[in-house]
């Protein structure tokens, strides 16, 4: 609250002049070790793990990403004190696996307020997180990645942000594991050979995917495709992202599978928090969150029957793979985080409070 201090009162003729001074209130990491890259296998100093065996149709890799309000002194006695407006909390909207279905992706992003009816950025200064697996099982790979690139550019122009993460299917395609590519997707690239070229380390799509992260911590919420168990979480967000970059940079398809980070218990494949008994899973989750300096974890990867977001561990863990692509049922949902409030978004319904 401003204070007025009267310094002097001087009689001047018939007028009394007060000289007043306005006194405004004042408003109120050590980089990780460089990860070396060997020519034919990962030299990242992380635990080794083999890719999981293919046991069901669910994917598995083949054996072969304050205001310090400047205390501004008034230049004139009549100047008003500066009033600090509270910082507006940015809305975070997270969407899970899209799997080659452009129509369903657009429907979901429109429902969540990320795009307008023309497909352009509509979220202003807010943040859109996509947790990986844009590719496979549907024919719209080129359209979907092109949309994500365009939205990232448009978001930046409006002060917003697109955070796109790698999923296991992105890495599978860079490693030439094409078991889940549908014929229409091959055709959209002009054939299988041209598609391989696009995902190669020197291809337009391979170069782009190698710039992406595998995790992000945004205001205390850490996002993954599958989730980091405690031993991977000990690397920290930057450590895991550095390991992913080192594991992909300059590597051929054959070399990628030597990278332990992309193995079965790695952050792209891990399902334990979603499928294990809750008591055991939540204990591991709490250890991982402590290592990551986060309050909650949000992942995709494990499809949820019925198209509803899965909440576990008293609201510290959420699965947002709700089967958006029609091959999984064509459900639409997103997770919205504003401050400490976490809600699920569904078409034609008010937000459902989850935490």
For the record, the structure tokens of 24 come out as 């405004």
Three-state DSSP state, 143: helix
The architecture in CATH of the region 89-353 reads 4-Layer Sandwich (3.60)
Band (pLDDT 50/70/90 cuts) for residue 88 is confident
**Distant-in-sequence, close-in-space partners of 106: CB < 8 Å, separation ≥ 6:** 115, 119, 147
Give the mean model confidence (pLDDT) for residues 23-41: 32
Band (pLDDT 50/70/90 cuts) for residue 35 is very low
The pLDDT tens digits for 59-69 are 444 433 333 33
Q: Measure the CA–CA gap between 193 and 320, rounded to whole angstroms.
A: 33
- Beta bridge partners of residue 9, listed in sequence order: 18
- Beta bridge partners of residue 65, listed in sequence order: none
User: Which residue blocks in 122-229 are alpha helix, DSSP H?
Assistant: 141-157, 168-174, 183-189, 192-199, 204-209
What is the pTM assigned to this prediction? 0.78
Q: Measure the CA–CA gap between 181 and 102, rounded to whole angstroms.
A: 15
Sort residue 227 into left (φ over 0), alpha (ψ -120 to 50) or beta: left
Q: Measure the CA–CA gap between 98 and 34, rounded to whole angstroms.
A: 34
The pLDDT tens digits for 163-187 are 999 999 999 999 999 999 999 999 9
Average pLDDT, the chain: 82
């Amino acid at each position: 609250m401003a204070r007025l201090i009267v310094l002097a009162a001087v009689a001047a003729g018939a007028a009394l002049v007060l000289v007043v001074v306005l006194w405004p209130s004042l408003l109120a990491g050590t980089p990780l070790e460089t990860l070396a890259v060997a020519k034919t296998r990962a030299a990242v100093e992380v635990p080794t793990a083999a890719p999981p065996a293919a046991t069901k149709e669910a994917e598995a890799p083949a054996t072969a990403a304050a205001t310090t309000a400047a205390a501004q002194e008034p230049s004139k006695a009549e100047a008003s004190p500066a009033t600090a407006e509270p910082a507006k909390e940015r809305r975070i909207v997270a969407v899970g696996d899209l799997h080659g279905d452009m129509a369903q992706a657009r429907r979901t992003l429109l429902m969540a307020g990320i795009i307008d009816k023309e497909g352009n950025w509509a979220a202003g200064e807010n943040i859109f997180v996509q947790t990986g697996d844009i590719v496979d099982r549907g024919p719209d790979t080129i359209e979907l990645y092109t949309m994500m690139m365009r939205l990232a550019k448009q978001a930046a122009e409006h002060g917003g942000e697109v955070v796109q993460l790698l999923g296991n299917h992105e890495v599978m395609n860079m490693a030439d594991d094409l078991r889940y590519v549908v014929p229409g997707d091959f055709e959209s690239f002009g054939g299988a050979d041209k598609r391989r070229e696009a995902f190669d380390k020197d291809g337009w799509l391979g170069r782009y995917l190698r710039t992406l992260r595998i995790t992000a911590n945004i205001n205390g919420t850490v996002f993954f495709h599958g989730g980091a168990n405690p031993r991977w979480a000990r690397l920290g967000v930057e450590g895991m992202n550095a390991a992913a970059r080192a594991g992909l940079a300059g590597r051929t398809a054959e070399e990628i599978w030597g990278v332990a980070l992309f193995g079965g218990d790695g952050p792209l494949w891990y399902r334990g928090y979603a499928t294990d008994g809750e008591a055991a899973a939540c204990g591991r989750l709490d250890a991982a969150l402590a290592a990551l300096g986060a309050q909650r974890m949000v992942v995709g990867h494990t499809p949820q029957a019925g198209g509803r977001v899965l909440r576990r561990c008293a609201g510290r863990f959420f699965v947002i793979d709700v089967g958006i692509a029609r091959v999984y049922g064509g459900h639409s949902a997103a997770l919205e985080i504003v401050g400490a409030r976490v809600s699920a978004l569904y078409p034609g319904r008010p937000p459902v409070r989850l935490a």
